[in-house]
Chain A
Amino acid sequence: MALKHTPFFELHKAAGARLIDFGGWEMPVQYTGIVKEHLACRAAGGLFDVSHMGEVRVTGPRALEAVQRLVTNDVAAIRDGQALYTAMCNDHGGIVDDLIVYRMSPTEILICVNASNREKDFAWIAGHMEEGASAADESDAWGQVAIQGRVAPAVLQRLTDLDLAGLPAFHFASATVAGVPGCVVARTGYTGEDGFEVFLPPEGASAIWEHTLAKGGPSGMVPVGLGARDTLRLEAKYCLYGNDITDDTTPLEAGLGWVVKMDKAVPFIGIEPLRAQKAAGVPQRLVCLVVRDQIARPHHPVLSDGVRVGEVTSGTRSPSLEKNIALAYVSTPLSKVGTHLHVDVRGRIAEAEIVKPPFYTRPY
């Protein structure tokens, strides 16, 4: 099957990016090098093509109620113009996907879903619409960039009339960006830095990309590929769907209990199994590990006294901390901060310690 291309594809090729197949999309994994791009985003800023993410719009007089049934967080607790990070669970309390929902109004809600889950999510969402709400897959109608890092507000402010100082975290607004009308600017991200995600009409892609780099370049903003996107998110302990969270893990196990609102007005799909798990105690927890001498990778066994007690779900060399970091599920009695464990890295037994999440917190 032919790989799909985002509206930025030709720009990536022209920039000499290394392209890979990412869930059926031909995407830039790096432009100049993962470590360099990672550190540039931490020190100044990064521009990411995240157009492979999917967008689903739920509309109708009962749209809010329909979304409330689907997601674990409470969309009734935010105002119009606010965004919310949430899990969407299956009947067993496992995670169908993690999402950001954008509340335009009680009758219009935009849901941003992971690229790898686009078809699955849309089928799930559309399959759970009832009278008064309907879902449309708008993924092909939107491009998306993330403009992240401490220089992001100043850079983006030079491209839009929207007052970004008046746009706090997890708020969004319609705007014209770099002369492109019909964009949605949200103060969200997946890097641990301040920054924005901008939904844009595909025909505006090159204007936004080029103007952002022209304005941001002098202050150190660079294009960043999926390689550094992964190391940045891991340092910030943001879950990656398919690695750290799946259909078989619950938000309570993943440390996402803060997005699970058991007592909201409309009960959500999966609430009963999650209530039961909470009452019985979660059997395993996702923890942050610092690993000595070796880089743990997904599926490496976690050991305690030589006995397998869990499994690594993500792991890398952290460019910012210059330590080997990992996320792993471990059985709950061994999940306390400060616990010493081992990871079996292809037959080499490496010492590991559970540390307080996240690995990286921005210093501003």
Chain B
Amino acid sequence: MQFPKDLKYTPQHEWIRVEGDLGTCGISDFAQDSLGDVVHVELPAVGAVLRARDRAAEVESVKAVSDVYAPVSGTVTEVNEGLDGSEDAVNRDPYGEGWLFRLRLFAPEELATLLDVAAYEAHVAEAGH
């Protein structure tokens, strides 16, 4: 299972990649693997203002639906339209082609509350069996 070092993670298995004041978000390799074949994705509206831990998206597999939360507060600037019809990208490439939404952060200090890769790996080791 892959957990890139340049990302920040949440205990709910979201990741965020920060470039300037923009953060790209998705679900982790662990999350996609637990969920199984992703067949439907609900993305937030561009322009939506999200507080940290607000429900931002839904990722749905054949078996179950899972909420995706905003890792930090921000305004949605872009969503991954490319997932429409290619939802399996969330499974194949969760940190690349399978990204979900992009936020313009308005409280970057919140990033300090997220997990770095070592802390997240420890969290996954606990959650996994």
Q: List the interface of chain B (C-beta within 8 A of A).
A: 36-37, 39-40, 42, 58, 60-63, 65
Q: Count residues of chain A with CB under 8 A from any CB of chain B.
A: 18
Interface residues of A in 14-36 (CB under 8 A from B): 29-30, 33-36
The CA-CA distance from A295 to B60 in the complex, in Å, is 8
B65 and A227 contacting across the interface, CB-CB below 8 Å: no
Asked whether any CB of chain B lies closer than 8 Å to the CB of A188, the reply is no
Is chain B's binding surface mostly helix, strand, loop or mixed? strand
Cα–Cα, bound, A36→B63 (Å): 14
Residues on the A chain within 8 Å of B37, using CB: 33-36
Contact flags A310-334 to B (C-beta < 8 A → 1, else 0) = 0000001101000010000000000
In contact, A29 and B62 (Cβ under 8 angstroms)? no
- A34→B36 contact, CB < 8 A: yes
Q: Is the CB of A30 within 8 A of B39?
A: no
Q: Choose one: B36, B40, B60, B65; the contact of A30 (CB below 8 Å).
A: B36
Task: Please indicate the chain A residues that have their CB under 8 angstroms from the CB of B36 in the complex.
Answer: 30, 33-34, 227
Are A319 and B40 neighbours in the complex by a CB distance under 8 Å? no
- CB-CB nearest in chain A for B91: A33
The answer to whether B40 and A295 touch across the interface, beta carbons within 8 angstroms, is yes
B42 — nearest CB in chain A belongs to which residue? Answer: A348
A231 contacts the other chain (CB 8 A)? yes
Known: A30-B36, A33-B37, A295-B39. A316 touches B62 (CB 8 A): yes
CB distance from A352 to the nearest CB of B (A): 15
A35–B35 CA distance with the chains assembled, in angstroms: 12
> In whole angstroms, what is the CA distance A354 to B3 when docked?
44
Query: A279-302: contact bitstring with B at CB < 8 Å (1 yes, 0 no)?
Result: 000000000000000110100000
Contacts A30-B36, A34-B36, A227-B36 given; does A319 touch B62 at CB 8 Å? yes
**Cβ-defined contact, A29 with B39, below 8 A:** no
- Most chain B CB within 10 A, of A35, A294, A297, A346, is at A35
